[in-house]
Amino acid sequence: MMAVETIAEDSSAWRLPPSRTGATSKRREIYSYRFAAMGSPCEVQVDDPDPSLGDRLGCVAEMEALRIEHKFSRYRADSVVGRINGSRGNAIALDEESAALLDYAQACWEMSGGLFDITSGILRRAWTFDGSDRLPEPSLVNRLLPHVGWHKVRWQRPNLVLPEGMEIDLGGIGKEYAVDMAIARIRAESDVPVLVNFGGDLAVTGARVGGGRWRVLIDAMDEGDGKAAWLEIVSGAITTSGDARRYVMRDGVRYGHILDPTTGYPVVGAPRSVTVAAPTCVEAGIISTLAMLRGREAERFLKGEQIPAWVTR
Amino acid sequence: MIKLVGAATCLALLSGCVGVHPWQRDLLARNAMQLNAYPRVIAFREHIYFSKEAASGGRSFDGGGCGCN
Amino acid sequence: MQLKPAKPGHLAAGLSLLTAALLASTSAEAQDSQAHGLMQEDAAAPGTTTVDSAVLFYKESGGRVQAIEPTTEITINRLNGDTLTASFTFDSLTGATPTGATPWSQPQTFTTLIPAPSHQVASTSASGNRTIVTVPGTGLVQSSYSVPANSLPVDSGFHDRRYAGSLGYSLLMDPDTRLKFGGALSFERDYASYSGNVGISRDLFNKNTTLSLAANFEYDQSKPYYGTPTPFENYAGQITGGHDHKTVVSLVGGITQTVTRFWLTQLNYSFGSNRGYQADPYKILTVVDAASGAPQSYLYESRPRSRTRQSVYWGNKIQIGPTVADVSLRYYHDNWGIKSITIDASEQVPFGRNFYVEPLFRYYHQSAVNFFRYYLVSNAALPQYASADSRLSRFNATTIGIKAGVRLLPDTELYVDVERYRQTGAHNDPTAPGALASMDLFSGVHALSAMTGFRFKFQ
């Protein structure tokens, strides 16, 4: 989601004032290391011109991204998620990291009143978000709904029993978790400021050299719209939830791709995109997902939580 | 006593110079590094010392709440 | 598991705590060590409940006090960062305590007057050494016991049971501010205590510094079965007083500072003020003959009705390699004349993944209260206050001990702690009259304590 075009002003409710020209960042070369992982273009920006340092840190991030992808990808039968989804109702013993993620997902499910639910992934079988006007048959959605719901899962650390027919999908936090873990590994290697961006979910290790700010372009709208916003950060993470490319349009109503796990249908009145800033990428990701799920109440939810966020409709 | 309070104030001012970044709190998050890691053991010891010695408290509240002193 | 939706505006704070716990537990260090050792387990995260049940066995040498004290504490860490803590303790004491009277080269008999026992009064003699003699026409009886020659007079055969409970709640007002409040109750046959506390703490500088302030209010009732003696009342007579009470107000202010990734330090200043009855209603002093030192009579002790206390405490937790050291220092001072210093050190050492050993050492020294007297002299003017209670005398005390813990199952721990406590002080008073100058007046404590407990966590 990183665009490089020039920008016009964004009309969302909370807008970061544009920076003064040349006020904060020195004209310093940023080393950019790019690779692909988790189905997205990934980039590591290192605030140091030395290419060997940049390659080393970029490699650390790439290794961590690939490790997490291989461990938690639902497309691989030998990954932790693949084994869980193929367990046919038998108990699976999980390692420390997977157990910690499931504990976390469970706590988020509890705190969000059931809106954040890692068992809701199978609902995608009913929906094809390709910009067409195809809505699923209600009976198809109704047949999937009984297989959705974290309360049906038996999770007693370290053993998980997933009833047959259910699936878990860590896609909702996997990429953000990978960003935070990559940041941690990079910090262990070097004090040089680094920005890690996995497909639009990004975080920084700290301010740029000399205290300058990282500049990030958020491209939140439909292609060709030309609207975007600058954000400047010195710490923490930013994620964006949005339906710029994945939606169904029918009778003038736009159905975004974030599905409400309690109904099986996209949330009514969801914003087009929500960009959230938070201390870690995982937090930003959960908050932006929850904001989308609040539909028309997204702005009120974000304002109530006092989180810096930008909503576009 | 005043000197000690003064020292405490200096400690507070130094806070800008010492400390850790949020991502360096891994060891401090451990149970073994908590100041009150085993509250029942601390409570037993405080009860014994309260009933056998004249001084009390320090960590938290003074006063014993039992008739043993 | 249950849906516990966060209150509006509180989701981000709870999420922040949870995420910190997640990233700490999956950090590079945690992963490189494959599985957490017992000493690497994290403190309870939001959404977990901890139950800790333990029992203390305490025994002083020389037939003195023995106690058994089981206790249980439950701590519920809610997802929104609030904490609820509840505890219950039961305490059963038996044995003998020094009365404060001095020994003598002849056997001594201690006689007092009490109301004639009805069938409801429990006998105070477990060892059968009390004799009861009716005083005709008064409705009173004389209760006496004797102690052998050349031995410290102790009052044996008492048996007390205490029930205590506490409840506390800590509210996370915003990610950096906590408000706490709580209360405690304690009931025994001759004593009741009621207390309440409030406190606030604030994190600064990225949670590297925490400032805290707390206040505690306590109301204690002393209700000895035969009444509360007035200061210097004669032991031989009947106690005419009823119940009495005291109130205690204390304040504690502190700074907790993260110094390095391996070192956490805390400095607390405490102030306390007690007002009301603070004497021990069972303790006496011997009035001795000015020339020979022989006991003439016995008087109940007298203590001031107000006491102000101050202390400074400095505590540290330091990670040294795989071990954790706990070192603290406390200086205490009150207006009764007590000045004391306490040094505490222990080091928790892991052995393998599931076991640790923690040797510990404590040194304590106190000066005497300014009204401490081993005895009173007959024909001399009575001082305003006097007490022969060894807890108010000048002494040193050392504790050496060892604690060990084993992880039986994930998130459970069985621990054992054994400690030896010894008080040492002057054994005689060379200025005492007559034969008393060479007698051993020391009544300090030698005790062994053993604790064992079991704690477990669940979601």
C3 in any annotated domain:
no
Say whether residue A182 is in contact with chain C using an 8 A CB cutoff. no
Percent of chain C residues past pLDDT 90, beyond the cut: 71
CB-based contact (8 Å) between C335 and chain B?
Answer: no
Q: Do C459 and A157 touch (CB under 8 A)?
A: yes
Same domain (yes/no): C88, C138: no
Q: Tell me, yes or no, whether C2 lies in a domain.
A: no
pLDDT tens-place string over residues A96-154: 889 999 999 999 999 888 999 999 988 888 887 777 777 788 888 888 999 999 999 99
Q: Are residues C85 and C194 in the same domain?
A: yes
Q: What is the ipTM of this complex?
A: 0.90
Q: Per-residue pLDDT for B62 more than 60?
A: no
Are both C113 and C55 inside the same structural domain? Answer: no
Q: Which of B21, B23, B25 to mutate to test the interface with A (most CBs of A within 10 A)?
A: B23
Segment holding C245, helix H or strand E: strand C244-260
Report CA-CA distances (Å) from A172 to A110, A202, A282, C3: 16, 15, 9, 19
Chains within contact range of chain C (3+ C-beta pairs < 8 Å) = A, B
**Residue C272 CB contacts under 8 Å (≥ 6 apart), including other chains:** B57, B62, B63, C248, C249, C250, C251, C308, C309, C310
Same domain, C225 and C365: yes
CA angle A146/A148/A153 to nearest 5° reads 105
The 8 Å CB, 24+ separation contacts for A42-46 are A42/A197, A42/A198, A42/A199, A43/A2, A43/A196, A43/A197, A44/A182, A44/A186, A44/A194, A44/A195, A44/A196, A44/A197, A45/A194, A45/A195, A45/A197, A45/A214, A46/A192, A46/A193, A46/A194
Q: Which CATH number fits domain A80-169: 2.60.34.10, 3.40.50.150, 1.10.3980.10, 1.10.10.10?
A: 1.10.3980.10
Length of chain C: 459
The reply to whether C158 and C129 lie within a common domain is no
List pLDDT tens digits, range C296-326. 999 999 999 999 999 999 999 999 999 999 9
Does residue B56 sit at the C interface (CB-CB below 8 Å)? yes
C196-224 confidence digits (pLDDT tens):
999 999 999 888 999 999 999 999 999 99
From-to residues of CATH 3.10.520.10 in chain A: 1-24+213-313
Q: Summarize pLDDT for A273-300 with one digit per residue, the tens.
A: 889 999 999 999 999 999 988 888 999 9
Same-domain status, C232 and C296: yes
Cα distance between the two ends of chain C: 8
Banded model confidence at residue A26, pLDDT cuts 50, 70, 90? very low
Looking at the fold, whether C289 and C379 belong to one and the same domain comes out as yes
Residue that is last in its domain, among C88, C121, C147? C147
pLDDT at A1 over 60: no
* Claim: this prediction has a pTM higher than 0.95: no
List, in sequence order, every residue forming a beta bridge with C429; answer none if it has no partner.
none
Tens-place pLDDT, residues A140-191? 888 899 999 999 999 988 899 999 999 999 988 999 999 999 999 998 888 8
B24 to chain A nearest CA, in Å? 10
**Residue C42 and residue C52 share a domain:** yes
* Interchain proximity C28–A110, CB inside 8 Å: no
Shortest Cα distance from B69 to chain C (angstroms)?
7
Provide the CA A104 distance to its chain's centre, in angstroms.
15
CA distances (Å), A5 to each of A21, A34, A216, A224, C6, in order? 17, 19, 12, 11, 40
Among C179, C249, C182, CA closest to C218: C249
Query: Is the model's pLDDT at B69 over the cut of 80?
Result: no
CB distance from B43 to chain C under 8 Å?
yes
Tell me which amino acid residue C107 is: P
pLDDT digits (tens, 9 = 90+) for C227-265: 999 999 999 998 888 899 999 999 999 999 999 989 999
Burial C172-203 (b: 16+ CB within 10 A, else e): beeeeebebebebebbbebbbbebebebbbeb
* Total number of domains in chain C: 2
pLDDT bucket at C418, cuts 50 / 70 / 90:
very high
Contact A279 B22 (CB under 8 A): yes
Is residue C1 assigned to a domain?
A: no
* C143 lies in the same domain as C153: no
CB pairs under 8 A between B and C: 227
CA dihedral of A84, A90, A95, A100, whole degrees rounded to 10:
70
Q: Quick one: pLDDT at residue B3? A: 67
| C425-445 mean pLDDT | 91
Domain with C82 in it: 11-104+149-458
A185 interfaces chain C, CB cutoff of 8 Å: yes
Q: What own/partner pairs with CB < 8 Å and gap ≥ 24 does C118-125 have?
A: C124/C157, C124/C158, C125/C157
**Which tens digits make up the pLDDT trace of C354-390?**
999 999 999 999 999 999 999 999 999 999 999 999 9
Amino acid at A165: G
Boundaries of every domain in chain B: 2-52
A1-24+213-313 to CATH, choices 3.10.250.10, 3.30.450.20, 3.10.520.10, 3.40.640.10: 3.10.520.10
Give me the CATH number covering residue C275: 2.40.160.40
| A184: closest CA of chain C, how far (Å) | 7
What is the average pLDDT score of chain A?
82
C173 and C257 belong to one structural domain: yes
Q: Which residue has the tokens 């157990």?
A: A99
Pair C155, C142 in one domain: no
Pick from A180, A306, A189, A173: nearest CA to A241:
A173
pLDDT band, very low/low/confident/very high, at C275 (cuts 50, 70, 90)? very high
Q: Outline which parts of chain A fall under CATH 1.10.3980.10.
A: 80-169
Q: Chain C residues with CB inside 8 Å of A109's CB? A: 1, 3
**Is residue C42 domain-shared with residue C119, that is, in the same domain?**
no
> DSSP class of residue C171?
E
